[in-house]
Amino acid sequence: MSEKLIDVIDNAGLVRLTINRPKALNALNSDVLAELEHVLADLEGRADLRAMVITGAGEKSFVAGADIAEMREKTPEQARDFARQALDTFKRLETLPVPTVALVNGFCLGGGCELALACDWAVASDNAIFGQPEVLLGVIPGFGGTQRLPRRVGPAMAIDLCTTGRKIDANEALRIGLVNRVMPQAELEDYVEELAKQLGGNGPQSVRAAKQAIHDGMDQDLDSALALENALFAFCFAGEEQSEGMSAFVEKRKPNF
């Protein structure tokens, strides 16, 4: 690949990834997915990683979807391989041990919505547009949308979006729980920058443990999930982070994690 498709900015463990295909509204093709997979593989082993933000280049689009020009002539076998590439990449994103934030700065459709769903947070500009319009193309969501969307917004709304293909604005996305925050576009960058600093400034071990408890617990029965929480809670007392955090609270000072 001659063109750099994922721009990476690293600020002391606060990492920002930008999908850099603005002329194609940052549509996901095989090359973008391969480069994103490579970047995430490098990040997941870093002990100093605190938080990660992912966005799309320009002000029009986060990710407008998968690249239809690439997909239109695929055989069923090729389509399966392409979707599997995306599923594996998004799973790597989802299981990154630190908080991940989708900075949604415009169109967030199809594979773009599925990419945002693989993140822990989604913060949208007030002009963002969301949807799973795949049925309008004669297919279904193939990058995890039929599974992550109902887990995020409930099965009734997921059925609505996936079978009508309709698009929703940022305020409706907030109302149904698809995004965490909606900001005026002019304030979006500053808000997400401060959010990343806040997430990165909390105890890294406890933040990772909280994310693990929630993600892993969602796939277990309640008793097993509570046992997982109990084990991770106890684990937090095994290092210096808990001691520093509680000492700082008692001493009325800011903790030094």
Looking at residue 28, the DSSP 8-state letter turns out to be B
Q: Which of 35, 37, 134, 241 is catalytic?
A: 134
- Closest C-alpha to 39, from 3, 63, 14, 7: 7
CA distance linking residue 74 with residue 29, whole number of Å: 13
Known catalytic residue at 240:
no
Distance from the first to the final alpha carbon of the chain:
39
Known catalytic residue at 59:
no
- Closest C-alpha to 210, from 231, 229, 197: 229
Q: Which of 114, 187, 189, 241 is catalytic?
A: 114
For 176-211, b/e burial (b = at least 16 CB within 10 A) is: bebbbbbbeeeebeeebeebbeebbebbbbbbbbbb
Positions marked catalytic? 114, 134
